[in-house]
Structure 1
Amino acid sequence: MTRSNIAMIGLGVMGKSLALNLLDQGFNVTGFDISEAHRERAETEAKQLAQQVGKGGFVKATDLNQVLDSLVKPRVIALSVPAGNIVESVIDDLLEAGLEQDEIVIDTGNSLWTDTEDREQKYQGKLRFFSTAVSGGEVGARTGPALMASGDRQAWNYVQPMWEAIAAKVDSKGLPVGQFEQGEPCAAYLGPAGAGHYVKMVHNGIEYADMQLICEVYHFMSEVLDMPALEIGRVFDTWNQGVLNSYLMEISAEILQTSDPITSKPFVEVVLDKAGQKGTGLWTAVNSLQQGAPAPTIAQAVFARAQSSQKSTRVLGASRLKMHVQPSSGMNKEEALGELHEALYCAKLSVYAQGFDLMKTMSVKEEWDLDFAHIAKIWRAGCIIRAVFLQDITSAYQADPQLENLLFAQRFVEEVHNRSFGWRATVANSALTGVPMPAISSALSYFDSLRCEVLPANLLQAQRDYFGAHSYSRIDEEEVNKYHLTWSADERIQVSV
């Protein structure tokens, strides 16, 4: 009997797709799911692949004992189950079924990175707990995802050939290639337990912001420039041929040019404007606040989704809140489109700068020693935020691994300098015409704050000292020296604290 190289527990959308990808690459896979329907579906699709030369064999397991019996040793088991307690429940069941100390369990779900750290501690000495965050959705998992691995280094050495085989690939120019073509794999070992899921969390935060940026541009084009969805989609198609080339721009162009099969109206116009979220963007925003590493555009993207869910309040506000706005009739359409293009590029770059700065902060705190060039590399294909300018980000960190902020890289200094007027004009036009651009605006404020040598925090700190005696530092003293002013109408006394 030929034994399997790996087992996949959880044959839902992602688990089944990863299993089929492994079969494509010639690995033998055992699949298990508590749902019989999921097991049957996976087996049916695996049988279709088995008719092709060079494909791996599939074993449908009906319980965990059969899973363990079907694997070569040391046994490798990947979990594709919902984040949370179910991960530990499955692992505990595997241990009870006979999993051994030197065998590997890989969490491929969207787990919170701190949970991953806790699990490594919990299972130390019982098994090799490992994690691999997967990005790319169903299509990516099936034909080539971006894989962000972390945990036991020996476990990585063992699974690396499988992970690199199924990962997305890029050519020498950093451009995606087909599933069965040769190229550099978008899979990497990022560090100790938690590092991979943390990087994926920030990836998703950037994803939230990138999606919101595109939506704000669409909104302006629709409301102010009075462009129909089909025309906007065609503009996005054109933009996708240049510096804004990305997966999210590509699918946005396709969505806007798609008709609703029921009404024949533009599909986007029959979709209710209430956006959902699964939490990873929120996790990123909260983490940035906790660490004091500003990621305002990611936070604004989360807020935008929250405000979209307040549909009834917005309907009421639309009827009651009136204000004077600049008429759009006199706006030069081609000029405005050029400005929107520049604003989208600059805001997108600002978002990536925020995300990489957040990762840098946590890398130092957790002693992960993250390789930012490597992270940018594995995001070039397979994942949701894959974009052509990730090659430029890779080059920036290769040239200076200790880069203080991505926006300080010489290439991006020049790019933003050349494009910033369009960014500012777009934000000004959005305010004057009353079309909200919370993400694009916050990205510009982040940039302007970054280049502002003196911020009004001097007044803010004085306010804090006034009402709460919180103390302040002086510009003509060492920062470690703290002072408090006695706030009296008759006498000002500076007291060292």
Structure 2
Amino acid sequence: MSQAQIGVYGLGTMGSALALNMAEHGFDVAVTNRESDWIAAFLAEAGDLAERLHPHDRLESFVCGLKTPRVILFMIPSGAPMDAMIKAITPLLSPGDTVIDGGNANFHDTRRRAAELGARDLHFVGLGVSGGELGARTGPSMMMGGSDHSWQQLGPILREIAAHYEGVPCVAHLGPDGAGHFVKTVHNGIEYADMQVIAEIYSLLRNGAAMPPNEIGALFTAWDRGPLKSYLVEITGRLLGYTDPETGHPMVDVIKDAAGQKGTGRWTVIEALRMGQSASMIEAAVGARGWSSEKDTRQTAESILGGSLGAFDGTPDVLAEAFMAARILCYAQGFRILAAASEEYDWALDFAEIARIWRAGCIIRSALLDDIAGAFGADPPHGQLILAPEFAQTLARTLPALRQVVCSAVHGGHAVPALSAGLAWYDSMRLGHGSANIIQAQRDVFGYHGFERLGQEGKHHGPWWD
């Protein structure tokens, strides 16, 4: 029996798509699944690609069917299931083998697993995979964290199956242990914020300008042909054109306004706050999803507090400029979190490279990422995207529109948590002297915490303690 170059455990949506992608690119892939009856159905659907797919119904034969040193990709739920599989498969492995977690794992778990397996001379990779089922099948964006040894084994496969942007594969070895999973977490946090901004703009047009969904969709489609081009703008334009076959109403109007979430947005916010950062636009997006889930409470509140909305007077051109400003600020906050983690965990993340591998295949791919890669490649002041000359100029042009949109929204009672959070953060960062001095004075009065004086070293206290 021929030995496969890589094994894929888990033939759900993402695992099966990645296995087919690998087979289509000429790799021999060993496959298995906890529910072994899935395997035959998967092979039947694989068609001619089944020749490169080698099925196993037992873990022992699956491991034996791989070339050494082995490369095994797990596409299973994160957390306890992954720990259980590591416990089951470790006795079957040999020094130099690599185990890969391709799910949305908490990077702290990835760091722990890498250390535990490293003590046995085994390698553990945290692989962030973005692009959904279609991306996994035709070319995802992938963010790898792990050892150089594992990259030598895995890199040739990932470069082939990844999405490509102008001939460059959208995959990179970003650092050790949890680096890949952390970058994927922040990717998802940016995704949350961008989706929330789009939802807020939609709501202003729908509820504040009385524009029907198909016309809003046409506007997003037009935006997708310019600087705002992105996957999320593209699909928003398309989905707003659909009609519900049961009622004849716009499809979006029959979908319950309660957004789901799987945790990566919350993880981004938690880690940002823990490291002393505030990703306010991502926080707003996570919060908005939480509030949306309280549908019954909101309906009761509308009858008590009133739910009337005023007119929104912004034009599509003004909205487009505001959208551009918000998107820049969203990415800027995301990269600040990456910078904080890179320093704390000594990862030496390459932000230009991260922007490059996000240009195709992933959910947040957008025309803006090419410019972001260039800006980080030129080493912006203090490493801040908003201070890069090109982006500072763009923000100077687009911020008046964002101010106008937020002002009109607030005046009309429209909730725009992400747009307003981005504006507040920008206004805080552009001031060399803020209002935190009053907070420091308060802290000293009630807790004798002390403060720094302008132009003087050391810790000082106010005259209220004399």
2:350 corresponds to which residue?
Answer: 371
Answering whether residue 403 of structure 2 is matched by residue 424 of structure 1, we say: yes
Distance of 2:150 and 2:359 partners within structure 1? 25
Please name the residue that 1:93 is paired with: 88
> Does the alignment pair 1:159 with 2:154?
yes
Q: 2:180: which partner in 1?
A: 196
Task: Name the CA distance, whole Å, in 2 between partners of 1:48 and 1:143.
Answer: 16
Aligned match of 2:300 in 305, 316, 325? 316
Q: Specify the alignment match of 2:29 in structure 1.
A: 29
Q: Secondary structure at the match of 1:7?
A: strand
| Residues 1:355 and 2:334 aligned together | yes
Do the aligned partners of 1:403 and 1:409 also contact (CA within 8 Å) in 2?
no
Could you say what secondary structure the match of 1:356 adopts?
Answer: helix
Aligned to 1:17: 17
Q: How does 1:170-209 map to 2 (within 5 A)?
A: 170-171=165-166, 183-209=167-193
Given candidates 248, 267, 280, the residue that maps to 2:251 is: 267
CA distance in 1, matches of 2:360, 2:14: 17
Asked if 1:458 corresponds to 2:453, the answer is: no
Aligned match of 1:146: 141
Q: Which of 273, 281, 285 does residue 297 from structure 1 map onto?
A: 281
Return the letter of the residue paired with 2:102.
T
Shift of 1:131: 2.0
Superposed displacement of residue 40, structure 1: 2.6
Match of 1:388 in 2: 367
1:123 aligned residue: 117
SS at 1:400 equivalent = coil
Give, in whole Å, the separation in 2 of the partners of 1:141 and 1:401: 33
Distance 1:403 1:380 in 2: 24
- CA–CA distance in structure 2, aligned partners of residues 448 and 46 of structure 1: 54
Q: Distance in 2 between matches of 1:92 and 1:217?
A: 48
Measured after TM superposition, the shift of residue 125 of structure 1 is 3.8
1:46 matched to 2:46? The reply is: yes
For residues 297 and 198 of structure 2, what CA distance do their matches in structure 1 show? 24
Residue 454 to residue 280, structure 1, CA distance change in 2 (3 Å): same
Contact 1:397 1:403 in 2 (8 A): no
Q: Percent identity?
A: 41
8 A Cα contact 2:241 2:250, kept in partner: yes
CA distance in 1, matches of 2:311, 2:373: 43
Tell me, in whole angstroms, the C-alpha distance in 2 between the residues paired with 1:213 and 1:131.
Answer: 30
SS in 2 for 1:446: helix
1:216-235 matched pairs, under 5 angstroms: 216-235=200-219
Distance in 2 (alpha carbons) for counterparts of 1:161 and 1:87 = 25
Deviations 1:407-462 (A, max 9, x none): 01111111111111111100000001111100000001111111011111111111
* Alignment gaps of 5+ in structure 1: 51-55, 172-182
Aligned CA RMSD, in angstroms, stands at: 1.5
The size of the alignment, in residue pairs, is: 465
The equivalent position to 1:104 in structure 2, one of 98, 103, 108, is 98
Q: TM-score, normalised by structure 2?
A: 0.97
d(CA) in 1 for partners of 2:263, 2:311: 38
The one-letter code of the counterpart of 1:270 is V
Match of 2:461 among 463, 484, 487: 484
Q: How far has the Cα of 1:327 moved from its partner?
A: 4.6
Counterpart in 2 of 1:79? 74
**2-structure distance, mates of 1:35, 1:264:** 41
- 1:74–1:102 Cα contact (<8 Å) kept: yes
User: Are 1:413 and 2:392 an aligned pair?
Assistant: yes
Supply the distance in 2 between the matched residues of 1:461 and 1:249 (Cα, whole angstroms). 43
Q: Is residue 126–residue 179 contact of structure 2 (8 Å, CA) maintained in 1? A: no
Partner of 2:61: 66
Once the 2 structures are TM-superposed, how far is the Cα of residue 267 of structure 1 from its aligned partner? Answer: 0.8
Contact 1:7 / 1:29 at 8 angstroms: preserved in 2?
A: yes
The question of whether the paired residues in 1 share the 8 Å contact of 2:376 and 2:383 is answered with no
> The residue matched to 2:7 in structure 1 has which SS?
strand
Does the 8 Å CA contact 1:336/1:426 hold for their aligned counterparts?
no
* Distance (whole Å) between structure 1 residues aligned to residue 140 and residue 75 of structure 2: 14
AA in 2 matched with 1:232: I
**Conserved 8 A contact 1:16-1:42:** yes
Query: Structure 1, residues 39-58: CA drift from partner, whole Å, max 9, x if none?
Result: 233212223435xxxxx611
Q: Deviations over 1:52-86 (max 9, x none)?
A: xxxx6111110111101211121211000111021
TM-score by length of 1: 0.91
Distance 1:367 1:6, change over 3 A: same
Show structure 1 runs of 4+ deviating over 6 A: none
Match of 2:8 in 1: 8
Distance between the aligned counterparts of 2:282 and 2:71, measured in 1? 36
SS in 1 for 2:54: strand
Contact 1:101/1:125 (CA < 8 Å) preserved in 2? Answer: no
User: As a proportion of its length, which structure holds more helix?
Assistant: 2
Q: Which amino acid aligns with 2:322?
A: A
Q: Measured at CA, do residues 75 and 314 of structure 1 come closer, stay the same or move farther in structure 2, by a change above 3 Å? A: same
